[in-house]
Structures are given as C-alpha cells and as structure tokens.
Structure 1
Amino acid sequence: MKVADGFAGIGGSSEGAKMAGAEIVWTGNHWQEAVAIHARNHPQAMHTCQDMHQVNPALIPQHDIFLASPCCQGHSPARGKANGNPQHDSSRATAWSILSIAEYHKEDVIIVENVPAFTKWALYPAWRQALHALGYAISPYIIDAADHGVPQNRERLYLVMTRSKHPIELTLPHRPHVGADSFIDFSHGSWSKIDRPGRSAATLSRIAAGRRRFGDRFLAPYYGTGSGQTGRDIARPIGTITTRDRWAVIDGDRMRMLTKHECAAAMGFRPDYILPEQHTLAVHMIGNAVCPVVMCDLINSIKEAA
C-alpha cells in the first residue's frame, strides 16, 4: 500500500501510515523547516516544499491513500479574536487543494484530519459536494486519541473518503486510557521554585487549587478553560497538546513546563523520533501534528473493511 501525505508537517500521519505497513511515497508542505524534519524521519519519501495549491498533481507518484490535514486555525474555536479575518479565510481555503489531487489521481481512499468545527465552515457543504462529484462517499469520525491508548485527550475529526457507492463502516479499536504519568520524567527538565518572586497570582491560585484536589504532583495549564482553573490528575491523559507551551508539571514546591520530548510522547510519537533542536519550534510542530497511533488504527481498520 502506497501513501501520499499532503500538509505533512512534522510527520504524524506519515508515521501512523508507516506503522500500518504502508510505504510513504510523497509528502508535501509549505514550511521548509517542517519538510526538513520530516525528511530526516522518513528519508525514503519524496519531499516537496510548496504551497499545496501550487502542487502539480502529475508530479506526485501513484498512491493508494492520500492523507491531508489542511490548516485548522480558521476553523478552531481557539482562534478567538482572529475569527473571520482574511488570514483565516485563506487558511480555510487550503482544503480546496485536496480536490485537484483527488481529481487527477482518483485515489481509492482519502483521509482528511481537522478540528470538529471544520464541518461548520460555510463552504463545507460545497466542498463535500465537490468530492461527491468526484465519486467519493464520506464517512465522518470524531476520535479522541485517548481512546486509542494515546496519553492525551485530543478530539479530532477524520473524514474517511472512499471511491464507493456507500460510505465505508469502520470498526475502530478502543483501548484503555493511559495517564500522563506514563511519559513525565520527574528527573529531567528545568525546574524552578513555585513561590519565587514575580510568579503571577493567577498561576499561584491555579496551583493551590490543584494541590487541594491532587496532592503534590499534578498538571497545571497556563491558559485555557476547563482544567485551566483546577489542574489535572497525572493518572489520566493530559489535555490537548497545543502549538505553544501550555502544560506545567507540579512536583511539591517546584514546577516546570513539559519538555519537547514529553510533548511528543503525549502525541504518541516513538521515543527516537527526530525533533527540531529549538524547543519552541519543536512544540509548535508537535502541536500541529496528527497522533500517529490514531492514523495507524484508521488505516488498519480500512484494510480490514475493504
């Protein structure tokens, strides 16, 4: 089975496809730094650094499955005040590039990953109808990575498209949840005293609330709702890994942010997966990635249903 990966980023979808026994023949991404990291982890694939709207489908090798994770920022509720600005109109439009590739290659299967709010996009009905016109039936799945044994609650939409009369019905595995304590290493990282001068009152309040609920060791996010005010038990999956440092590890009177390797582990990447040297860059790429285990399970389920 041959796979092409558009919007490949750091390589979460490619890694998942490889885990499922597929050969990655081509990947595309507009960001040179992401392409370089992907190439180090998947050197056998052809790599194209180009805006997906400008990719010539004829230059993509033949493949059975096309994976695509178009920009999600314009659909995510987390975009906040940027809602509706031209930047996000442009990011939403990246989904249209999938159509030119599908029209040319007529792949057996296309898997599109995005935030669940993707289906609320005003042009989603037209986009979906265009894929129907190309002969694709669409099965939507909203999947929490934690249900696949990934130590993170990360809910994403996966549109499984097949060139068939009826949508495919998949039987996906459901694994026990794994806690954040499976990847947090209390002997590593840059720790600092919680009660140091300059620590914000809001941070101290969140930590105090977490101590009351969970004791000396827990997670405290620096921003966001939900766990943002109460902390999070390390025995349960961590909340969503984002594109910037969010989760602090609390251990008694000290604290630190997650390391880049812990963020990668929370996504389900293998321990030896190559990451950017710079922490901020690595976290940004990891937060944009697809959980490899989820993509692996999807592809294996598609093979079983075929």
Structure 2
Amino acid sequence: MSALTYIDFFCGAGGSSAGAERVPGVRPVLAANHWDKAIASHSANFPDAEHFLGDLHDADVARFPAADLFWASPECPKWSNARGKKRDFDRQPDLFGETLPDAATDRSRALMWDVPRYLEAMATRGRPVLAGVVENVIDVRAWNLWTAWVSDIRALGYRTRLIALNSMHARPARTPVAPQSRDRLYLAYWRAGLRRDPDWDKWLRPTAWCENCDKPVRAVQAFKKPGADMGRYRQQYVYRCPNVACRNAVVEPPVVPAASIIDWSLTGRRIGDGKLTKTFTPYAAATVERIRTGIRKYGAPLLAPAGGTWRTEATPVTVPAPTRTTRENDGLAVPPLLVPTEGRDGKAAGQVAEPMRTQTARNETGLAWLPFIAELRGGGSDARPVLDALATVTASGNHHGLTVPPAAGAVDWQALLTPYYGNSGARPVAEPVGTLTTRDRYGLASGHGAGAGTDVDEVLFRMLEPHEIGAAMTFARDYVVIGNKREKVRQFGNAVTSNVAELLVSALVEAITGDELATGWAS
C-alpha cells in the first residue's frame, strides 16, 4: 500500500504531526491553525506539507486536500452541562485565565463540529477519511451534545473507541515516553468498511509488575465508578492485574522521571539573594514556603529495602535497623524516594509512602532524596519528585518550577520543583513534573547538601526553560519552535504529546494495512 496521507487540524506547533510521522508509511500533507506562530513552527519542521492559517470554522473545508488519516485537537475551555446543571460558560475563565464572551464560548463548542464537517465533505467527494483521532480535555465528555456529536461521526460510516489515556503511560516504538502526567480524552474512529478493528489491547494495556503474581503483566484499565468511561488516572481509574489469582490487584505501569528532561547545566538564584539586592525581586512568601515544606517532606534519611519481597517499607534511621536476612539488603537514601537501579521493564521510582514495586532477591532499589517539581497553580496540584512524570502541560502556562543543582552539569537529587503560584507544594525532581502549561509555573530549587534542616535561603531556584518543557512534551531536541520564550512555552503547552500520537496512529494504521507494527512494551 502507498503512503498514508495525514491531515492535522488545530495542529499547534506540531506535536501530533511529529508523532504521526514516526509511524511507518505516514506522510503529513496539511496542517491548519489560527495562530501564525504555530503555523511558522509547524512549517519549519514539515516544509513539504501544505499549511492553512486562519479560522477553521469559517474555512471551506471541502476544498482542503483529502487524506487517509485525520487528527483534530479543537481548542476548548472547560465547558459542559454536567449532571443536569447548566454552567455559566461565558463566566468561566479559559485556559489563559481570560473570561470568554458568549460568542467565543459558542465558537469553542462549534469547533468540535468541524470534525464531522470535514469527514462528511471528504465522503461526498468520494475520498472518505479511513481513520482518525479527536483529542481534547477530559471535560468534553460531559458536554450535553457529546452523544449527538459521536453519533454524527458513526452515521458517516465509522466505528469509534473512546480512550482515556495519560501520556506517561503511552509507550510507542519510536517516540520517547512523556515524563509528564497528562490526562486527555481521545476519540479514535475508523471506517467500518475496513472490516478490521484496531487491536486496542495491544496498544492500550501497559506492562506493569504485579507483586502478588511476582511477574510482569499486561495491565487492564479499571474505572472506579461502574459505567464510567472517562477520567483521570488514579482519581477515576487505575490499572489492575488481569489475573484473578491475585484478585486483580492494582498495579503501577512504569513511568519516566521528570529528572530526565531537566538541563542540569543551568543553575538558579539563591533564594536569600532577594533580600540582599534590589536587582533581584524576592520570591513570593507562598513559593518560599512550598520549598520549605518540600525540604521537610523529602529531607529525612531512610533505610530502604533493596532486595527480597517480605519487607516493602522504608524505615527512618532514627529507629533500630530491620532484621537482617540473606535476601534483604538496605540502601541508605536522603530523600523519601525509592529508585530502581536495574534496567528491567516494570521499574519506576516511587515515594516511600507508597508500596514498593517489583521486589526481587537482587539489590535493585536505592533510596534517594531527590529534587522535585512544584506546580505553580491552584487546585489539587502538588509537588512531585522528578523521577515521576510531569503533571499535565496545558495551554495556560509553564506551571513547573525546578530546584537546580549546586554544581553545574551534575544531577542534584536534592533539588525541588516548586510551584511559583497557586496552593500546591514542592516535589522532588525524581518524580514526574506536574501539569505544564503556557505560563511559567514551576521553579527549580536546589540546596548545598540540603537536608531536612536546610535553610531555605540557601536553596537555588529557577524556572523551567522552554527546551525542558518541550522535552517533557516529547518534542525532539532539534525540533524548531518559533517565537520568544512566552510564545514557545504557549506552543508547547498547547501541543499533543508525540508519544500518544504515534501510539494511536500506529493502532489505526495497523488496522488499515493489516501490517503489524511494534509497540514500546515488551511482548
């Protein structure tokens, strides 16, 4: 079969296009967006594709090129008529903190209808789209016209699959896994005439280690509320072992740490310097307090079990050491995080307050007091170690602060990522960073041999740079994004993580062609 052509509506800087292009046989031919900077960025990376700059809702999409694959990411504020209660859409801030007028709110809903509008236009032309994906925030599922919208797509001859997926769990063959916890809604659709559905179990069931079964398993997504089909990881759904022998125990798929995208050669400013010079505006008291809280939370040394299976919890060094055996080995770590030191799948760093994973007879886990990422916005945001995935990068700003190392170029495992605004706390850099947005949100704070009693004035602090945010969104290092720092951050925050795009497009291409494609999960 010849190359499959791909069109990207609301393309932004091109995260979805970058992921799709990595699927064998897929060629982007058109990208559309209303922002000139986004089109400039997309054009710089996909010079062979056509580009449409303008409002898609006013465009004559019937004149657009036909394509085999169609990706759309309509921009939408959080709008819904959930639970029978009509919300005041025109009074709710959008992702940039601005209040939308009625007309703009209506337009944001109307953008969703541009998807079936293009599908119908291509079918009328005799060149129906073979498959595609619509990406959006999970709140769209509560839209009062959701069922009607999906029905319109199905009426055009498509089968559909609604997917709740966190970017840190999407592991395709080529794109790196996003070190960021980013929950999004995806509606995949494909022509019923293909007479073959995508193998969704293959693509959407991550490998995870089941402690009870003592082996890796292909985890199953399980919603906590019966009948639910959309939500956020851990809040509305978890992953469970498929084996009834362990009573379908909850398992944790491995994630990539936020530390992997931090540029450790960049240093920050000492917090206390804001009190000494007029050229340095002191950090807000709330930000300093988050850093102080993070130091207290992640500063106590611990003995962590590094082998065996019977003991799973770390213990403070202020109490007697646990019983020694021929199979247990303890590691001493300054932070309350357990870090895997061997390379098998199913391993990920975790806080010592959580159950340890994949305990074996080998010395595989060490404990470390790691730098952490702190989210700078309100709500339920929190700090997290950089070995965890970042929280969602959104369109409203760069919300992640990073604690930097005392020595340039060296990883500072005592650093903290600290929210620069909002009411969330700091987190070690060993965990995934919190949600990244289009505004500066996170600062990096690091100490000089910091411990639980470290003076917060001695901590170094800086904001995450655009290239770090781009890496968290899985953009390649050489990917070109046009604009100043603020414009780059906004484009990154609006983007689709490329690893998810590659994964979902791979599943659809496999169904179209019948040719098997590889995932990033061990078989």
The code of the aligned residue for 2:151 comes to Q
Distance 2:287 2:32 in 1: 40
The CA distance in 1 between the partners of 2:14 and 2:438, in whole Å, is 15
Quote how far apart the aligned CAs of 1:11 are.
0.3
Paired residue for 1:48, among 45, 48, 52?
Answer: 52
Moved more, 234-243 or 76-85: 76-85
- 1:222-233 superposed matches below 5 A: 222-224=376-378, 225-227=380-382, 228-233=423-428
In structure 2, C-alpha distance between the alignment counterparts of 1:183 and 1:16, rounded to whole Å: 18
Contact 2:37 2:483 in 1 (8 A): no
In structure 1, the partner of 2:106 is 89
* Residue of 172, 184, 206 corresponding to 1:156: 184
TM-score by length of 2: 0.55
Q: How many angstroms does 1:266 deviate by? A: 0.4
2:345 corresponding residue in structure 1:
none
Is 1:180 aligned to 2:335, yes or no?
Answer: no
Q: Which residue of 2 aligns with 1:193?
A: 270
Residue 467 of structure 2 is aligned to residue 261 of structure 1: yes
- What does 1:49-128 correspond to in 2, within 5 Å? 49-75=53-79, 79=94, 85-86=101-102, 87-105=104-122, 106-128=128-150
Aligned residue for 2:391? none
Distance in 1 separating the partners of 2:428 and 2:158: 43
CA–CA distance in structure 2, aligned partners of residues 137 and 78 of structure 1:
34
Any stretches of 5+ residues in structure 1 without a counterpart?
none
Counterpart CA distance in 1 for 2:12 and 2:113 is 18
The 2-side partners of 1:277 and 1:58 are apart by 32
The DSSP-based 3-state class of the residue aligned with 2:481 is coil
Q: Is the 2:140–2:146 Cα contact (8 Å) retained in structure 1?
A: yes
1:280-291 pair list within 5 angstroms: 280-291=486-497
Are 2:198 and 2:510, in contact at CA under 8 Å, matched by a contact in 1?
no
Aligned to 2:39: 35
**Secondary structure of 1:172's partner?**
helix
Verify the 8 A CA contact 2:373 2:434 in the aligned structure 1.
no
Residue 71 of structure 1: how far off its partner (Å): 0.8
In the alignment, the residues of structure 1 paired with residue 34 and residue 283 of structure 2 have an alpha-carbon distance, to the nearest angstrom, of 39
Q: More helix by proportion, 1 or 2?
A: 1
| CA apart distance, 1:192 | 2.1
**For residues 93 and 374 of structure 2, what CA distance do their matches in structure 1 show?**
19
Deviations 1:184-226 (A, max 9, x none): 012126x222232332211111111111123472222222233
What secondary structure does 2:192 align onto? coil
2:289 to 205, 209, 212: 205
Residue aligned with 1:230, SS: coil
* Residue 150 of structure 1, CA deviation: 1.0
Determine the C-alpha separation between the residues in 2 that align with 1:57 and 1:129.
21
Alpha carbons 1:74, 1:83 under 8 Å: kept: no
Question: Partners of 1:269 and 1:2 in 2: how far apart?
Answer: 21
Offset at 1:73?
Answer: 2.0
- 81-90 vs 134-143, which moves further: 81-90
Deviation at 1:275, TM superposition (A): 1.6
CA distance in 1, matches of 2:61, 2:22: 26
1:13 aligns with 2:16: yes
Q: Of the two, which has the highest radius of gyration?
A: 2
The separation in 1 between residues aligned to 2:473 and 2:111, in whole angstroms, is 24
2:23, 2:502 within 8 Å by CA — same for their partners in 1?
Answer: yes
In 1, are the aligned partners of 2:39 and 2:53 still within 8 Å (CA)? Answer: yes
Distance of 1:32 and 1:107 partners within structure 2? 27
- Aligned-partner residue type, residue 294 of structure 2: G
Tell me which amino acid in the other structure corresponds to 2:260: S
Q: What TM-score, normalized to structure 1? A: 0.92
CA–CA distance in 2 between the matches of 1:138 and 1:237? Answer: 31
Residue 145 of structure 1: aligned partner: 167
For 1:226, the aligned partner's letter is S
Residues 292-303 of structure 1: matches in 2 within 5 Å?
292-303=498-509
Q: Which stretch has the larger CA shift, 257-266 or 198-207? A: 198-207
Aligned to 1:279: 485
Aligned match of 1:234 = 429
Structure 2 residue matching 1:303: 3-state secondary structure? helix
Is the contact between residue 7 and residue 31 of structure 2 (CA under 8 Å) also seen in structure 1?
yes
- The CA distance in 1 between the partners of 2:182 and 2:296, in whole Å, is 26
Counterpart secondary structure, 2:435? coil
Kindly tell me: are residues 181 and 9 of structure 1, through their superposed partners in 2, closer, same or farther at Cα, counting changes over 3 Å? same
Shift, 1:78, TM fit: 7.7
Contact 1:209-1:229 within 8 A present in 2 as well:
no
The whole-number CA distance in structure 2 between the counterparts of 1:90 and 1:249 is: 38
2:375 alignment partner AA? P
Q: Over the residues paired in the alignment, what is the CA RMSD in angstroms?
A: 2.3
